[in-house]
């Protein structure tokens, strides 16, 4: 071995051994942030990582990471942060960060813009459906290749509620840990009280049904700290907060498993309206009530149509020059090809 190899080996040994010479396990987790376009995902990530940077629009799928030591002279745990940009327009990219090799240590943070209630349900439903479908495909494969891991993942999510919880048989936990963040609470707080009540109760139901944690946040330092506490629990194994705030006139903060159907109550609609709504599941009923109050925007309206290649923040002179040259070559080829086809003689049938 070279001197450099020996030095690397010594550093690795020191980082992975505690004072008694026993090997410490390094905690390594992955989190995918997704949600409304311009909903504040990047700001939340930067705050969690304690980075003083100005947030920039997310292009497609972006990656960063954070490292934390549990105590002095111990190896640093690692958290991988993935961020999906474009709202619901880049759903196919979800399969890139979530794989069979990291599914055991993966979690999802869904950031919903409270200031845009007409986009809220459509965005939430589409992102969670696609993510759940992808995770279930991975679990189906694992049941054949590694059934022990597949069973452990499913059982872990069932344990998001205690067995003696009255709603244990009524919920359908998301297959991997989920946190739902309602962003821009400062704007939301100015809404009519009845609007706030409908949105808050609906998100409480959805979060509880999926075994997720729920927190409302804004640029306020105090609210960001609450969101950060939930994310640090997922990313670095910090202690889970036991505090709860379910008052609809205040920012909600409800860790997974600490809410109940009886406290949430019925969907905020009259008995006559509920009686007219055809729904096969509780989730479908809440959806109909919510969309009656806030007619949804279509997925087409939510698509991100801006071409990132034309965005000045991603300008790179050499790349742009080469791209322009290739575009000219393509146009030249298309013109020649078109001319060649026109000049061809085809025998009549």
> For the segment 158-185, what is each residue's pLDDT rounded down to a tens digit?
877 888 899 988 999 999 999 999 999 9
C-alpha 87/C-alpha 124 separation (Å) is 10
What's the token pair of residue 108? 């999802």
Model's pTM, two decimal places?
0.78
- Region for residue 229 given its phi and psi (left: phi exceeds 0; alpha: psi -120 to 50; beta: otherwise): alpha
C-alpha 115/C-alpha 152 separation (Å) is 38
Q: What is the mean pLDDT of residues 68-94?
A: 85
C-alpha 259/C-alpha 167 separation (Å) is 9
DSSP letter, residue 245? B
Q: What is the mean pLDDT of residues 223-234?
A: 90
Query: pLDDT tens digits, residue range 84-114?
Result: 988 888 889 999 999 998 999 999 999 999 9
Residue that wins the pLDDT comparison between 13 and 285 = 285
**Nearest partner of 229 among 253, 205, 210, judged by Cα:** 253
DSSP letter, residue 240? P
Q: Which residues contact 158 (CB under 8 A, 6 or more apart)?
A: 173
**pLDDT confidence band for 338 (50 / 70 / 90):** low
Q: What is the mean pLDDT of residues 257-283?
A: 86
Q: What is the mean pLDDT of residues 13-23?
A: 52
**pLDDT confidence band for 34 (50 / 70 / 90):** very high
Q: What is the pLDDT of residue 339?
A: 65
C-alpha 272/C-alpha 284 separation (Å) is 17
Q: What is the pLDDT of residue 269?
A: 82
Return the exposure string of 9-39: e unless at least 16 CB atoms fall within 10 Å of the residue's CB, then b. eeeeeeeeeeeeeeeeeebebbbbbbbbbbb
The rounded mean pLDDT for the chain is: 84
Residue 301, pLDDT > 70, answer no
**pLDDT confidence band for 343 (50 / 70 / 90):** low
**pLDDT confidence band for 342 (50 / 70 / 90):** low
Residue 201, pLDDT > 90, answer yes
Q: Domains of the chain, with CATH numbers?
A: 26-293 (3.40.50.300)
What's the token pair of residue 167? 């709603």
C-alpha 297/C-alpha 291 separation (Å) is 10
Q: What are phi and psi of 61, to 5 degrees?
A: -125, 120
Q: Which residues contact 231 (CB under 8 A, 6 or more apart)?
A: 31, 44, 48, 109, 179
DSSP letter, residue 190? T
**What is the sign, positive or negative, of the torsion defined by CA atoms of 127, 131, 136, 137?**
positive
Q: How many other C-beta atoms are found inside a 10 Å radius of the C-beta of residue 241?
A: 16
Order of strands across the sheet that contains 213-216 = 61-69, 76-84, 28-35, 106-113, 178-183, 213-216, 253-254
Q: Which residues contact 331 (CB under 8 A, 6 or more apart)?
A: none
Q: What is the pLDDT of residue 23?
A: 46
- Residues of the chain above pLDDT 90, percent: 45
**DSSP codes, 28-50:** EEEEEEEESTTSSHHHHHHHHTT
3-state secondary structure of 84: strand
Cα dihedral 240, 258, 109, 114 in deg (nearest 10): -130
């Amino acid at each position: 071995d070279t001197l450099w190899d020996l030095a690397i080996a010594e550093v690795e040994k020191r980082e992975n051994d505690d004072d008694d010479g026993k090997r410490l396990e390094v905690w390594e987790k992955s989190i995918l942030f997704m949600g409304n376009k311009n909903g504040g995902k990047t700001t939340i990530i930067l705050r969690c990582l304690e980075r003083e940077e100005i947030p920039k629009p997310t292009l497609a799928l972006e990656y960063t990471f954070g490292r934390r030591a549990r105590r002095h002279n111990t190896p640093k745990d690692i958290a991988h942060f993935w961020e999906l940009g474009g709202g619901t327009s880049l759903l196919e990219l979800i399969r890139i960060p979530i794989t069979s090799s990291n599914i055991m240590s993966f979690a999802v943070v869904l950031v919903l813009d409270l200031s845009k209630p007409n986009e809220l349900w459509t965005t939430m439903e589409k992102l969670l459906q696609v993510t759940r479908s992808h995770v279930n495909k991975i679990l189906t494969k694992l049941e054949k290749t590694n059934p022990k891991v597949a069973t452990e993942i499913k059982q872990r999510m069932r344990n998001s509620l205690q067995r003696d919880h009255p709603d244990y048989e009524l919920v359908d936990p998301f297959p991997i840990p989920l946190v739902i963040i309602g962003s821009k609470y400062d704007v939301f707080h100015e809404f009519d009280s009845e609007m706030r009540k409908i949105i808050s109760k609906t998100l409480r139901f959805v979060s509880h049904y999926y075994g997720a944690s729920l927190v409302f946040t804004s640029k306020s330092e105090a609210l960001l700290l609450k969101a950060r506490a939930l994310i640090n629990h997922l990313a670095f194994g910090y202690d889970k907060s036991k505090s709860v705030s379910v008052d609809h006139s205040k920012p909600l903060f409800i860790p997974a498993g600490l809410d109940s159907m009886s406290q949430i109550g019925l969907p905020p609609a009259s008995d006559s309206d509920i009686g007219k709504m055809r729904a096969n599941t509780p989730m479908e009923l809440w959806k109909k009530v919510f969309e009656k109050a806030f007619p949804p925007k279509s997925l087409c309206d939510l698509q991100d149509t801006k071409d990132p290649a034309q965005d000045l923040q991603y300008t790179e002179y050499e790349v742009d020059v080469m791209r322009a040259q290739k575009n000219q070559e393509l146009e030249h080829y298309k013109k020649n090809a078109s001319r060649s086809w026109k000049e061809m003689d085809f025998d009549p049938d």
